[in-house]
Amino acid sequence: MSEAWYRIALDDGDRVQLVVAPGEHLGAAIALAYARAARGRPAWAIAAEAAPAGDVPLGESVGKGVVVERTPPADLPRWRWPDGVLPTIEGARRLGAPRAGFARRRHDAAHVVEAIVPGDRLIETFMQRVEQLPAADNVEIKVAGHHDGAGQTEVWLTPRIDVKKAIRFLDDHDVELLGSGHVEVSIYLRAQRATLRLTEHKTIVWVCEDDATADEMTGWLAARDLAPVPAIAEIASVAHYHWRGARTLPRKKLLERLHRLRLRRVDGWPDAA
C-alpha cells in the first residue's frame, strides 16, 4: 500500500500544531505525527485532511518519515475526539466543539439514549457500562465497508456468552475493536430487549423498549458527570475520517482473526454507490 500525506492538527492542551505527515493510512500518519512533532508530550489529533501538493516535501524526504510543521488554523475547535474518528479541518470548523453529554429520543417503539464522551474517557466509560450489565448474550462486530476501502460491510457474531466473557473479549481486543473507527460493537441483552453499542462514530448508544430501562441509563450517565444536551453533535454531519491505529490489523487479517475467535459471519452488504 502506498503512502499518502495528511495535514494533521495536534493539540497538547497548551497549543495547536499543524503538521504534514505521511502514512499508509491516516492512523499511521497520526502515529508518526505524535512521535516526531509532539516529541513525547501528550497530544491528540483534533482534525485532519489530505495534504495539498504544495505541502508535501520532495526529493530525499519522501519515504523517510519526515514531518513538516505548518502554521495552524487560528479558529480550530479544540475537542478531544476518540481514537477512530476525526473531522476534516473545515468539518471541525462547521461542527464546532461538541458538548459532552447525552440525548434521549424515541425511534418507533424504542427508547434511544446516545452519549458523546471526550476521547480520553470514552472506552473507560463504555467498559464501565459493560461491567454493570445484567446480562450479555452476544457481542456483534460490524466491520464497515470503509475499512481499507473494501466497499463491503460485514457483521460477525460471537457464540452465546455472559458478561464476564464479553468483558474479557473486549479487553483482549480493545485496540482493534473499540479504538477503530471502522468497527462498531454491539452487546445484546435478549431478556431485557436492550442493546448497548459503541458506534463507528464513537458514541455510546443504549436502545431499549421500556421507560424504566432508559431512565436507568440516563441516571447512570448523569452520575458520570454527563449532562442532558438538546442533541448530539454528529460528526457524521460534516466531512470526517474513520481511522485505525498504526499497529492494528488490515481488514483481511482482522476478519481472519474474528473467524479464529469463533465468531460467525451473519450478514453483509455492499456499500451504496
pLDDT score, position 194: 97
pLDDT at 60 over 50: no
pLDDT at 137 over 60: yes
Domain ranges across the chain:
4-76, 101-270
What are the tens digits of pLDDT across the range 227-239? Answer: 999 999 999 999 9
Q: Which of 202, 9, 24 is nearest to 88 (CA)?
A: 9
pLDDT tens column, 172-213: 999 999 999 999 999 999 999 999 999 999 999 999 999 999
CA 96 to chain centre: 18
Express as a percent the part of the chain with pLDDT over 90. Answer: 84
**Which residue is listed with cell 457464540?**
159
Mean pLDDT of the chain: 93
How much is the average pLDDT of 142-166? 97
Average pLDDT over residues 21-30: 95
pLDDT for residue 55 = 85
Average pLDDT over residues 107-125: 96
Residue 64 has pLDDT above 60, yes or no: no
Give the tens place of pLDDT for each residue, 213-257: 999 999 999 999 999 999 999 999 999 999 999 999 999 999 999
Q: What mean pLDDT is predicted for residues 264-270?
A: 97
3-state secondary structure labels for all residues of the chain:
CCCEEEEEEEECCCCEEEEEEEECCHHHHHHHHHHHHHCCCCCEEEEEEECCHHHCCCHHHCCCCCCEEECCCCCCCCCCCCCCEEECHHHHHHHCCCCCEEEEEEECCEEEEEEECCCCCHHHHHHHHHHCCCCCCEEEEEECCCHHHCCEEEEEECCCCCHHHHHHHHHHCHHHHCCCCCEEEEEEECCCCEEEEECCCCCEEEEECCHHHHHHHHHHHHCCCCCECCCCCCHHHCCEEECCCCCCCCHHHHHHHHHHCCCEEEEEEECCC
